[in-house]
Structure 1
Amino acid sequence: MIEQNEIVNTVKFQDVPDAGRRNLLKMAGVGAAALSAASVAGAPAVAQSNNEWDKTFPKSENVNHQKVSFRNRYGITLSGDLYLPKNRADQRLPALAIAGPFGAVKEQSAGLYAQTMAERGYVAVAFDPSYVGESGGEPRSVASPDINTEDFSAAVDYLGLHASVDRDRIGIIGICGFAGMALNAVAVDKRVKAVATTSMYDMSRVMARGYYDALTPEERTQSFKQMSQQRWADAESGTPKLAGGLPETLDGVDNPVIRMYFDYYKTPRGFHARSVNSTTGWTVTNPLSFMNMPLLTYIKEISPRPVLLIAGENAHSRYFSEDAYKAAAEPKELMIIPGVDHVALYDRLDVIPFDKLKSFFDQHLSA
């Protein structure tokens, strides 16, 4: 899904006319899934060979990479890219499980984070969540606050059994929409010693309430009515209807949200053929479970393990990190990157604070 809780940094929410605000709120809430893109319904994409570099970022010569797979507790096989520091000898290293953004695949932002943290001494696995990318699960192009939370713990299962990993030093990084799932996972999975998020937002909140919780009860009810009717249509056809994604060009498109995401997902900067947000859309009924199941109800139970929340100063999603910071218990830290918008933290190596991420995990995943 395109993260609709973001506008390019030259546009402030309060500067958008009332009609435009209503449209943005609808996109961020129920319509959020409709702006996303996904692989067509059917089986997961065929995995690439270990020798074929299929990422949106250059391969590091300081890291070993391999394709891996593991199962979650619902029996779904997840596909991952494992990055290991070269010259690690027989050391057992700290490890990170990484996923996001919501609607992206491991060959995009999560893989960049994993490879970069491996350069800094970590074993890191970037994985495709259930039902998207190269991971299993049918039907395709759906998400679940429960199953996608479980996906993080399944990655921790995998890392804890790896010969190069010290299972007592495992952390999580969640990017964008998967930041909320990451926090939800760490609240219950006490094996995880520290969690960091970038460009975080709470998928259940934004789908249920819209931007700034401005979706009206009437709009929420109407959305449920529409999706309830869509369920009958899907059941009759046997194939869930896809919502549709980003336009193929920006001709005539003035909406700054769409333009910003187009610049990442539909251009060589971030396009990937398996990415939900680069192609054809989530299912129309995708928001249902998110709208009814709050993700961050037990965020305080992450404590006493530390939380680091990172957001761009100009990101329209910034308030999600700020509110999560207020809700979390100590130890916690909120880092705002000056002059940066939401998507910049996907792939811009000049602004993603990898040194901060390293120092945070070095401190809290120490032997």
Structure 2
Amino acid sequence: MSSVTFKNLNGQGITLAAVVHFPAGFDASKAYPAVVVSHPGGGVKEQTAGLYAGKLAEHGLIAIAFDRSYQGESTGEPRQLENPYISTEDVSAVVDYLTTLPYVDNDRIGAMGICAGAGYSANAAINDRRIKALGMVSAVNIGQMFRNGWDGSVKDADALPYLEAGSQARTADAGNNPMATMPLAPLKEEDAPNAELRGAWEYYHTSRCEHPNAPGYTLARCLTQIITYDAYNKAEAFLTQPVLAVAGSRAGSKWMSDDLIARAASKDKQLHIVEGADHMDLYDVPKYVDEAVSKLAPFFQSKLK
């Protein structure tokens, strides 16, 4: 395992921070398949992304978990910005870095993510042909989630007040006021609307998996990018790579995995359901994570051969 930093070439002047996980018996003179692992919204590389990266490395893959621009140990101001277009480009920026490593086979690079990181990975795979396979865990299309609600029951047009709020936040920010923030997961237990999202509070704000670089909020100005963003835009035409989505049978977010599988142009796409798991269970509950990895590892091994 090695901590690295590298320049993001996407024009924002940002340095990304990442941790590279190596397989046992790593030999720098050989060329390995590699997987970019993207963290959930509000998360950092030391949490579930790092957990999955470490487990993929146990199966012979190089796996790199990174902090997105403006977050974690990566640079960029303002802090905690969650612009989904930049977050998508970050995935390709990590691919850029991997192509400079002599021990990575440039023709065997995959991407996966958890929650919003899965959506960003999907969007990157649609745009970037260097990504040869896509894995998703508890996938969230962050635009869909903010527009349509956790369970997909809200109409697009009813999200207009969020665009108004984001627009007003940008005006306030421009006036040198303290930047307005909004939670990406419940900040307090009493704020959780249901048991599943109580798990998000527990994950980010208790000893279960809290991290000082993961405060769990973003900037309200991001709403003007998030609401109109579709992580699966043009998947019907351009997402031709093999796809594996893993979702819990009890996950309120499962409909966003279903949507990607339905829309993807790929002829090699599958959805694996983890019985009994909800959205957050797939972040760190050992038996559910192990089941997810038991599908993801051979998927990447076979598609990146």
Residue segments in structure 2 that go unaligned for 5+ positions in a row: none
Distance change >3 Å, CA 254–CA 161, structure 1 → 2: closer
2:186–2:198: 8 Å Cα contact kept in structure 1?
A: no
Larger Rg: 1
Larger RCO, structures 1/2 (Cα 8 Å, 6+ apart) = 1
Aligned to 2:23: 85
Structure 1 range deviating more: 331-340 or 84-93: 84-93
Q: Deviations over 1:9-33 (max 9, x none)?
A: xxxxxxxxxxxxxxxxxxxxxxxxx
Gap change, CA 1:326 and 1:252, over 3 Å in 2 = closer
SS state at 1:243 partner? strand
Pick one of 59, 62, 66 that aligns with 2:3: 66
* Post-superposition CA distance 1:150-185 (Å, at most 9, x none): 100011111111122111111001111111111110
Deviation at 1:332, TM superposition (A): 0.5
2:36 aligned counterpart, secondary structure: strand
**Counterpart mapping for 1:162-241 below 5 A:** 162-216=101-155, 219-241=158-180
- Paired residues of 2:125 and 2:239 also in contact (CA < 8 A): no
What is aligned with 1:47? Answer: none
Matched, 1:263 2:202: yes
Aligned to 1:326: 262
State the AA in 2 paired with 1:242: T
Range moving further from structure 2, 228-237 or 319-328: 228-237
Tell me the equivalent position of 2:225: 289
Greater strand share, structure number = 2
Deviation at 1:356, TM superposition (A): 1.3
User: Where in structure 2 are the equivalents of 1:1-367 lying within 5 Å?
Assistant: 64-74=1-11, 75-89=13-27, 90-216=29-155, 219-243=158-182, 246-248=186-188, 250=189, 255-277=194-216, 281-329=217-265, 330-352=267-289, 353-366=292-305
Structure 1 gaps of 5+ residues are 1-63
1:27-73 deviations in Å (ceiling 9; x for gaps): xxxxxxxxxxxxxxxxxxxxxxxxxxxxxxxxxxxxx3333333132
Please state whether the residue corresponding to 2:110 is helix, strand or coil. Answer: strand
1:213 deviation in Å? 4.2
1:118 to 1:239, Cα distance in 2 relative to 1, 3 A: same
When structure 1 is superposed on structure 2, of 232-241 and 254-263 the one drifting more is 254-263
With structure 1 as the length reference, what TM-score do the two structures score? 0.76
Q: May I ask how many residue pairs the two structures share in their alignment? A: 299
Distance 2:239 2:156 in 1: 34
Letter of the 2:257 counterpart: S
The equivalent of 1:35 in structure 2 is none
Q: TM-score, normalised by structure 2?
A: 0.91
Secondary structure of 2:129's aligned partner: coil
The secondary structure found in structure 2 opposite 1:193 is strand
Using the alignment, how far apart are the partners of 1:267 and 1:253 within structure 2? 14
The verdict on how the C-alpha distance between 1:252 and 1:334 changes in structure 2, with shifts beyond 3 A counting, is closer
2: CA distance between counterparts of 1:219 and 1:174? 28
Taking structure 1 as reference, are residues 304 and 251 closer, same or farther at Cα in structure 2, changes over 3 Å only? closer
Q: Deviation string for 1:118-163 (max 9, x for gaps)?
A: 1111111100011111111111111122111110001111111112
